[in-house]
Structure 1
């Protein structure tokens, strides 16, 4: 079209606009023809493999010549290579043999944590013409971890008055493996006083220790137990945690006198402060619950004026004149009481001997 000055106008402007659209169309068409083979190539092949984690470097994953219908010549002429979106290439391509090999040690727990299944995804790219082949490799878990407790030892202080069925939360073990190789069960030994109860919360196993037989501090002050966590692998792996239970004393024992009856012999002229006898009571409880104080029972009657007892030591002494002509025998009732109010009683009998006076001629 002649777009000289004399012919300039609407038609020249329209022609220029049409020429711009045409140029854009040509450029779009060229791009489409370049991209189109890639779109076709995406659907050309896909293969999936499964391998265990921790395979040695150089181990064969699969034969892509056989599985994708390729040959070594095509791999070489097409400059076959692996493309992955991640920064690490765990899998390599041996072009000479047409095989995929382990390029870098694969740790399933590092790669996927607790996610299962765990897979690697990448493409094999060839040029002239361009081809894309999708490869998926599932990484299978192996039992390379044992269950682990955060602490090697825990302790509890439990009253001997705790009731059967009392619950005590224990630490859970952690196993990064998945499936059957993960944590499966616990055991507690010995099981004479405590038993286990397992709970599950969103797939996480928790464990509690239940008191099934009452504790007796006087019989056993401390219990040592072992909690063991097992996985389900073959061979099976496990770990242990020590549990120390200290039994806290309760006032469940009364004092007991060492003798049901104490005897003593005194002369009738024994002065005030004369030692009569020392009584003693034992309490199996611990600390303040086992502290014993002594007293004379009110049932001793008038003899309360003649004798006294040291509340701490249990020493009984004379505090009044002892007259053989008035009384030859005395009985004192005594009590031993602990801080919890539990008590025991005993008796002291005192035989008075008359003072023998000799006359000289």
Structure 2
């Protein structure tokens, strides 16, 4: 009988311990994962205010110092922000370069940071959403784009141009191309399925090598930032000869010495 009573008490103890552990886990999960996130433009100056994390998390600003509040990072990332213990504000601690962190291919760029407090130990995670700014100009891979076009090419012939590269995304990336007005070519700007812009030269007036052996144009890529940035490249067209002229004598009839000179 005593054994049975001891067993029942043991079961109640285990159940109580299990419920306590579950409750502790729920409470810790609640404190460890917050919904706080901040949108931060890249390249903000050190010391710039991001937001007031103490207010957003409902923390007592007067206890931040005594609880040794500090910002920590996940993994090996840099600590991009610090906390002002007097105000509870998050401030920029390191230069944030969106392209260096996430590259051009990612539309979103997120940094996970942690606010750590002691007495009692508490962990609050928050997110920095890094917003792109127009800090990069369009660039072409080559300094000169070269074409060889026969003078017999028909009006309306099209020639694909190299794309410009821009490390920024969205409207801050390349949005258009332009060339200066010229006698022979127009520019057609097209959009690929992925949204990237590219250009094609369109022959608007036939070339004549006997009149002009080379044509030089300047292509400009422009992004959609405010203010917009641009990059340029030279287009060098070499006009190739076509058999479009028949032999012509300087005279129609030759007499005497002129005939034998031939």
TM-score (norm. length: structure 1): 0.63
Which of the pair has more CA radius of gyration?
1
1:221 match:
213
- The Cα offsets for residues 146-199 of structure 1, whole Å up to 9 and x where unpaired, read as 001111112111111111111211100011112322111101234321111222
SS of the aligned residue for 1:87 comes to: coil
2:41 match:
52
CA–CA distance in 1 between the matches of 2:69 and 2:222? 46
CA–CA distance in 1 between the matches of 2:154 and 2:169? 38
Q: CA deviation at 1:15?
A: 7.3
Structure number with higher relative contact order (C-alpha < 8 Å, ≥ 6 residues apart): 2
Q: 1:64 aligns with which of 22, 29, 53?
A: 53
Q: CA deviation at 1:48?
A: 3.6
CA–CA distance in 2 between the matches of 1:85 and 1:164? 61
TM-score (norm. length: structure 2): 0.85
CA contact (8 A) 2:74 2:114 kept: no
Q: CA deviation at 1:81?
A: 2.8
SS of the aligned residue for 1:257 comes to: coil
CA–CA distance in 1 between the matches of 2:75 and 2:101? 11
- The Cα offsets for residues 300-319 of structure 1, whole Å up to 9 and x where unpaired, read as xxxxxxxxx6xxxxx24xxx
CA–CA distance in 1 between the matches of 2:117 and 2:182? 66
Instruction: Please say if 1:277 is aligned against 2:261.
Output: no
CA–CA distance in 1 between the matches of 2:233 and 2:70? 51
- The Cα offsets for residues 317-350 of structure 1, whole Å up to 9 and x where unpaired, read as xxxxxxxxxxxxxxxxxxxxxxxxxxxxxxxxxx
1:184 match:
175
CA–CA distance in 1 between the matches of 2:235 and 2:94? 42
Of residues 240-249 and 46-55 in structure 1, the stretch that sits farther from structure 2 once superposed is 46-55
Instruction: Please say if 1:87 is aligned against 2:76.
Output: yes
Instruction: Please say if 1:146 is aligned against 2:137.
Output: yes
Please list every run of at least 4 consecutive aligned residues from structure 1 whose deviation after the TM superposition is greater than 6 angstroms: 14-17
Instruction: Please say if 1:168 is aligned against 2:159.
Output: yes
Q: 2:67 aligns with which of 59, 64, 78?
A: 78
CA contact (8 A) 1:190 1:226 kept: no
Unaligned runs of 5+ in 1: 3-11, 265-275, 279-308, 310-314, 317-361
2:235 match:
243
CA contact (8 A) 1:38 1:130 kept: no
Q: CA deviation at 1:21?
A: 4.6
Matches within 5 A, 1:101-112: 101-112=91-102
Instruction: Please say if 1:125 is aligned against 2:116.
Output: yes
RMSD: 2.7
In structure 2, the CA distance between the partners of 1:91 and 1:73, relative to structure 1 (3 Å rule), is same
Q: CA deviation at 1:85?
A: 2.5
Matches within 5 A, 1:294-305: none
Q: CA deviation at 1:65?
A: 3.6
1:41 match:
31
Unaligned runs of 5+ in 2: none
